[in-house]
Structure 1
Amino acid sequence: MNSVSNIGTVARQDRLLAQGGAAVWAINALAPKTPNAWLNEIIRNKPYESIALSIWTHQPNLRVATEKLGAYLTPLWPAPDGQSLWSEAIEKAVTKVDLAVQRGESYHGRVVGIYLFWLASCVRDVARISVHGYNKHGERIIWKYFSQPLSVWVKANGIDHIEAVLVDEDPAEEVTAGLRTHLVASITDPVDAGYLEMYAPRG
Structure 2
Amino acid sequence: MKKKEKAAIILKELRSLYPDATCTLDYKTPLELLIATQLAAQCTDARVNIVTKDLFKKYRNAEDFASADLSELEEDIKPTGFFRNKARNIKECCIKILRDYNGKVPDNMEDLLSLPGVGRKTANVILSTIFNKPGVIVDTHCMRLANRLGLTKSQNPDIVERDLMKILPKSEWANFSHCLVFHGREICHARKPKCENCCILPYCAYGNKNIK
TM-score, with normalisation over the residues of structure 1? Answer: 0.25
Greater strand content: 1
Greater helix content: 2
TM-score, with normalisation over the residues of structure 2? Answer: 0.25
Bigger Rg, structure 1 or 2: 2
RCO (CA 8 Å, sep 6+): is it higher in 1 or 2?
1
